[in-house]
Chains A and B, each alone.
Chain A
């Protein structure tokens, strides 16, 4: 029996096959077909059959990571959406809280609302903050709304009324009526999707779901057809932004929960894989073609938050904390205002970096890495793409070197340095800006190019350890096989803790647990192995932002207001270095993650090699910095490294999908599951290479 993880990327679709009897892992990549992600899945299944003799019928579980919803948003190709909102609130979605993204720009344009004004209808109803209806929703009003929606040229309807997170009746009545009268329309209710206060963020999330749902619907149908035709009869799951799985059916009504599907798989994979090496706290960074995703995992916990955004639109559903920066392999380098900038403009996959020789003439980070010897032009994606080193040299020399008065070598090093600075700033954002010291974490690079920067990034930040996973370039797909089915539920009920009883809090959580469990059951999940993760959003009375507090102890006394208050003070102090113990504390929202534990892929121990030292595949010249100049170093094939092998820098360690630059003073050791731990020499007092 097999489990199959499939992660759709912009250029490649990654496959990881896990054999449940031998615990063997097989990985490969297939070219993505952006217009039809299911076609790449089909191609992968064919390759499994032809090359590995694995039939679709032998696959018990198939987990899929998708960028369909994400791309629909980024490319503005989602559905036409109608929004029903409380009378007087028609423009909340477009006012966007009056905030703007960038200062000092008279030509700024804000992200266009995903439901245009003509498609935003006001409903004559009104709830108060107490939950009472100031204006009840009448049958006539419902009928009027249904008729009005029926006249609009839309595919999808979002309903978001004021205070629906307290009482959902009005939204439900409208939703039921529209579903009954207009069954062709997709309907999203804010009270079902994101029942939290702050109407702009809730409306935007609801509209985002309505905007992306038809795309996911289409994908679900197409995938279902393909898998059925291929003879697959196993369980199928999609990775959510929270790192957990949901069924295809659930994804149809929760499209917005897939926006971070791929990156979430990566974070889960990074945490799980590091766990096998006994490393609990990591800073993972995945260098892709156009961007780098950075995530922090502390004590093995993938923490979630609910204030994400995409393309300038807020998304209030729980998601793994991934910070995306515009620095990837395809990021274009150019001098701007006398400083060297790399990214956020990207050559993407097409035309790609200059060295792809597909018509790209702009110098990119990948071109610099090729010129410096970090990437073997003949072994990129296992040789499937031949790189043109001369094209890289011309681009770097002409567009970066000449304007800055540098030769191609110095220009390439400069490009790498600027990339490193950008990644370091991103790592600071997810660590120091939330009160974490990155030096207490191991750096975990993945994606094809993470290994090119890891050594420099760790040196720059002063991190002592880098953990290079065994399968860095397909870690997201692997992570999909290492996670559980999860359902997040939330409720906003603002109340001061010093005026509450433990029983009320316990009951609110019990209600949420029941709700999460019944949603899992409705989704076809067995309820034998359930776990609940309880958190609540809390703040000092009068504060406007909340801290999400994880309830580690869920025993009898866990809900005592005094205990929660103490835990909040402690968390506030941990995050911000101060707290005010005299101030009253309030709970704003309660959150429960209902998790149904499933069988997962495991990393089996590898056998150490009989012979003594690992043999390099070859040697090549690399330029690590201006001081040491060009040096020749050994090149190791990753799959030839076995447990207990050690390698001293300088060296290159590469496989079909990735390259790792082991710098001088760094030593690499392989552990029992094949992960490589890289130890850095203690940091010098003052850095020399910059000068």
Chain B
């Protein structure tokens, strides 16, 4: 095969990226549900006819690898004709979890298939026993919602109406879900148009060679960066609070073996598959692994199948990461965040001084439902939140930002209150929630939402209430998450991180506090000026500054007592050496 010059690769790579972005823009702008648009919980991509990823829009990290898993499944199991479109969400046949409905369109040029265009959108509801299809106490995959096995939604350009009718009859908000499916179809049509234009320009054969080169190129860049780490096997263990049915901690164990630019991630030692819905489909586990490895290399490497080739994954069958049907898995995202965090933690063994403290490592997600005043129509609000990131050798962790596997927008307070009978009383950082360190962990956030009218339900699926994000290299752990309902009469009910369909009524307040990130390095090595700045900004309390950072300051006068700080730090060093 001809090797193409760096300029052609750059030019075609550029065009492909702008094409998948155009697909993504089409999807987001035409979608209906809040989840899909404001949270950007969707992705678009192009694949070669074998389902190898050519380019993907970088909306949400967790979609890395998920669409390509399904694309390979479609490529293997379907004979595609021009105008064919496949739809699926089956978590054991290419899908991730029920709400992620995927669409694949075959792209033909000069009578042969040259590519597949794919789109994935997180649907607001796909049926099942709980609104939003995220029952935290689901016992099997059937309780979680409608399962759509891979099937043709269009045959040679003709819509198979029955498929949509079947979906429509099984879901709660058909106009939104069908609208979002239409948006996904429109996005793949855009991909088709652009890829054909590219074929016209370069010729289909030549283009497929250029694309193969791009994949090889990303692979070699990945291998080059990974080879910088010393060979060896590095282990880490992470825990989740429970599986929604029991409060037994869930263990995620990884052994990362690095060898001359290739990676093997082995999950031996991970908990057996769960009764509750926090198991992970195969495509999801791959996403978490690919994503974690992407954090270990240059972020500028072009995202395509080549990025995945150096990564091998070993999964113990019947475990959380390789469950057997019909194990429930709609809550897999929370597990993914923990998996990615644990892999990054394992890499710390190979990173020396560039170790990274753990981030909050979870997604705070909850929903609340009820009836609107006036017409009495049902409402369901979904909320997603991040927390603090881990401190690094170069900088503090980000405050209140979505985790390693997520990236989206919060719901504006004004949007929530205009649409739902709810009142957001507080939306703010939690002081001292970031683990102390030379570079401190990012802060978690606190949101209080008051239920104003009638009664309804509250469902929480979050994590990280039992332990804080681990610090690195003598950095302190971050503050764990916390969830509670403050009842109208003032009673505080502290909740586990997973709770389904609790009754909530007017006057009750939902309290959510997300976890902070871990700190990097000893807090006694933090620049006292940075500590002073945090104290003045009330991100770190005066007391923590003195007791943990050893910094003596007067926040009212904005001044630092240099001498007292030196003495305090020397004392704390002695105490800590003596095991204090």
Q: Tell me if B72 is interfacial: C-beta within 8 Å of chain A.
A: no
Which residues of B have CB within 8 Å of A100? 398, 401-402, 407
Contact A542 B413 (CB under 8 A): no
Contact A339 B9 (CB under 8 A): yes
Q: Tell me if B394 is interfacial: C-beta within 8 Å of chain A.
A: yes
Q: Tell me if A52 is interfacial: C-beta within 8 Å of chain B.
A: no
Q: Tell me if A432 is interfacial: C-beta within 8 Å of chain B.
A: yes
Q: Tell me if B230 is interfacial: C-beta within 8 Å of chain A.
A: no
Q: How far is the CB of B415 from chain A (nearest CB, A)?
A: 7
A97 to B189, CA, bound (A): 31
Contact B61 A103 (CB under 8 A): yes
A583, closest chain B residue (CB): B175
Contact B7 A95 (CB under 8 A): no
Contact with A along B19-48 (1 / 0, CB 8 A): 001100110111111100110000000000
Contact B390 A106 (CB under 8 A): yes
Contact B412 A197 (CB under 8 A): yes
Contact B11 A417 (CB under 8 A): yes
Contact A98 B14 (CB under 8 A): no
B200, closest chain A residue (CB): A685
Q: Tell me if B539 is interfacial: C-beta within 8 Å of chain A.
A: yes
Known contacts A106-B392, A417-B11, A543-B37: does B22 contact A428 (CB below 8 Å)? yes
Known contacts A88-B425, A339-B10: does B398 contact A110 (CB below 8 Å)? yes
Instruction: Name the one of B5, B415, B536 contacting A118, with C-beta atoms under 8 angstroms.
Output: B536
Q: Tell me if B445 is interfacial: C-beta within 8 Å of chain A.
A: yes
A686, closest chain B residue (CB): B203
Which residues of B have CB within 8 Å of A279? none
A91 to B514, CA, bound (A): 15
Known contacts A337-B298, A417-B7, A428-B22: does B32 contact A108 (CB below 8 Å)? no
Contact A687 B201 (CB under 8 A): yes
Contact with A along B361-403 (1 / 0, CB 8 A): 0000000000000000000000001100110101100111110
Q: How far is the CB of A349 from chain B (nearest CB, A)?
A: 27
Q: For chain B, give the interface size range.
A: 35 or more
Q: How far is the CB of A483 from chain B (nearest CB, A)?
A: 30
A260 to B343, CA, bound (A): 44
Contact with B along A189-209 (1 / 0, CB 8 A): 000000001111000000000
Contact B427 A418 (CB under 8 A): no
Instruction: Name the one of B18, B423, B424 contacting A425, with C-beta atoms under 8 angstroms.
Output: B18
Q: Tell me if B356 is interfacial: C-beta within 8 Å of chain A.
A: yes
Which residues of B have CB within 8 Å of A95? 399-400, 410, 427, 429, 445
Contact B18 A89 (CB under 8 A): no
Q: Tell me if A233 is interfacial: C-beta within 8 Å of chain B.
A: no
Contact A88 B22 (CB under 8 A): no
Instruction: Name the one of B5, B356, B390, B428 contacting A90, with C-beta atoms under 8 angstroms.
Output: B428
Residues 199-229 of A contacting B (Cβ, < 8 Å):
199-200
Contact B179 A583 (CB under 8 A): yes
Q: Tell me if B58 is interfacial: C-beta within 8 Å of chain A.
A: yes
A403, closest chain B residue (CB): B6
A166 to B94, CA, bound (A): 48
Which residues of B have CB within 8 Å of A199? 412-414
Contact B395 A107 (CB under 8 A): yes
Contact B18 A116 (CB under 8 A): no
Contact A421 B15 (CB under 8 A): yes
Contact B398 A404 (CB under 8 A): no
Contact A162 B414 (CB under 8 A): yes
A314 to B395, CA, bound (A): 24
Contact B217 A106 (CB under 8 A): no
Q: Tell me if A77 is interfacial: C-beta within 8 Å of chain B.
A: no
Q: Tell me if A51 is interfacial: C-beta within 8 Å of chain B.
A: no
Q: Tell me if A55 is interfacial: C-beta within 8 Å of chain B.
A: no
Report the count of interface residues on A (CB-CB < 8 A).
72
Which residues of B have CB within 8 Å of A418? 7, 10-11
Residues 154-199 of B contacting A (Cβ, < 8 Å):
175-176, 179, 182, 186, 189, 194
Q: How far is the CB of B402 from chain A (nearest CB, A)?
A: 5
Contact B22 A99 (CB under 8 A): no
Q: Tell me if B448 is interfacial: C-beta within 8 Å of chain A.
A: yes
Contact B30 A97 (CB under 8 A): no
Contact B298 A340 (CB under 8 A): no
Contact A117 B537 (CB under 8 A): yes
Contact A97 B392 (CB under 8 A): no
Contact B429 A542 (CB under 8 A): no
B179, closest chain A residue (CB): A580
Which residues of A have CB within 8 Å of B539? 117
Instruction: Name the one of A104, A129, A414, A544 contacting B61, with C-beta atoms under 8 angstroms.
Output: A104
Which residues of A have CB within 8 Å of B402? 98-100
A504 to B472, CA, bound (A): 61
Q: Tell me if A433 is interfacial: C-beta within 8 Å of chain B.
A: yes
Which residues of B have CB within 8 Å of A543? 31-32, 37
Contact B427 A92 (CB under 8 A): yes
A418 to B37, CA, bound (A): 32
Q: Tell me if B149 is interfacial: C-beta within 8 Å of chain A.
A: no
A414 to B301, CA, bound (A): 20
Contact B32 A540 (CB under 8 A): yes
Q: Tell me if B417 is interfacial: C-beta within 8 Å of chain A.
A: yes
Contact with B along A146-170 (1 / 0, CB 8 A): 0000000000000000110000000
Q: How far is the CB of B4 from chain A (nearest CB, A)?
A: 9
Contact B414 A109 (CB under 8 A): no
Residues 564-600 of A contacting B (Cβ, < 8 Å):
572, 575-578, 580, 582-583
Known contacts A104-B295, A336-B300: does B410 contact A414 (CB below 8 Å)? no
Contact B300 A337 (CB under 8 A): yes
A494 to B539, CA, bound (A): 37
Which residues of B have CB within 8 Å of A99? 401-402, 407-410
A439 to B79, CA, bound (A): 35
Known contacts A99-B409, A578-B182, A578-B186: does B399 contact A94 (CB below 8 Å)? yes
A336 to B409, CA, bound (A): 31
A197 to B299, CA, bound (A): 35
Contact A106 B295 (CB under 8 A): yes
Q: How far is the CB of B111 from chain A (nearest CB, A)?
A: 17
Which residues of A have CB within 8 Å of B409? 97-99
Q: Tell me if A316 is interfacial: C-beta within 8 Å of chain B.
A: no
Contact B32 A542 (CB under 8 A): yes
Q: Tell me if B572 is interfacial: C-beta within 8 Å of chain A.
A: no
A106 to B298, CA, bound (A): 11
Contact B11 A576 (CB under 8 A): no
Contact with A along B274-315 (1 / 0, CB 8 A): 000000000000000001001100111100000000000000
Instruction: Name the one of B385, B398, B415, B418 contacting A109, with C-beta atoms under 8 angstroms.
Output: B398
Q: Tell me if B151 is interfacial: C-beta within 8 Å of chain A.
A: no
Contact A421 B413 (CB under 8 A): no
13 new A-B contacts at CB < 8 Å, known A91-B445, A163-B414, A577-B186: A98-B385, A99-B401, A99-B402, A102-B299, A105-B299, A134-B423, A163-B417, A338-B6, A418-B11, A421-B15, A429-B18, A544-B38, A578-B186
A-B contact pairs, 20 of them (CB 8 A): A91-B445, A103-B61, A105-B295, A105-B299, A107-B392, A107-B394, A107-B395, A129-B414, A197-B412, A198-B414, A199-B413, A339-B9, A339-B13, A421-B10, A421-B11, A424-B14, A428-B22, A433-B25, A542-B33, A544-B37
